[in-house]
């Protein structure tokens, strides 16, 4: 049986998020995407992709990621 949402933290169920980002911007020809990540300790995380490559960090909020650009 396949479980969705907080009951399933399998990355394979979240791969579709790259094509449906929460936020996306292109700066100087570099594409940045913020997508939903896995659930850690019952909290949703967010991922940052830079030109299609996922950064090795889990962020706790979209606000944390946007702070990198300020």
Reported as a single tens digit per residue, the pLDDT across 6-61 is 555 555 555 557 888 888 999 999 999 998 887 778 888 888 889 988 887 788 99
> What span, in angstroms and rounded, lies between the C-alpha atoms of 36 and 47?
6
Phi/psi zone of residue 45: left (φ > 0), alpha (ψ -120 to 50 degrees), beta?
A: beta
Token output for 14:
């979240």
pTM, rounded to two decimals: 0.70
| Look-up of token digits 């980002």 | 21
Note the Cα 10 to chain centre separation in Å: 14
Domain ranges of the chain: 5-54
CB neighbours of residue 33 within 10 Å: 21
């Amino acid at each position: 049986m396949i479980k969705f949402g907080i009951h399933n933290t399998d990355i394979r169920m979240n791969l579709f998020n790259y094509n449906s980002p929460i936020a996306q911007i292109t700066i100087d020809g570099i594409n940045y995407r913020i997508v939903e990540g896995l659930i850690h300790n019952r909290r949703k995380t967010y991922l940052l992709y830079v030109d299609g490559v996922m950064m090795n960090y889990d962020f706790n909020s979209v606000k944390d990621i946007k702070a990198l650009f300020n």
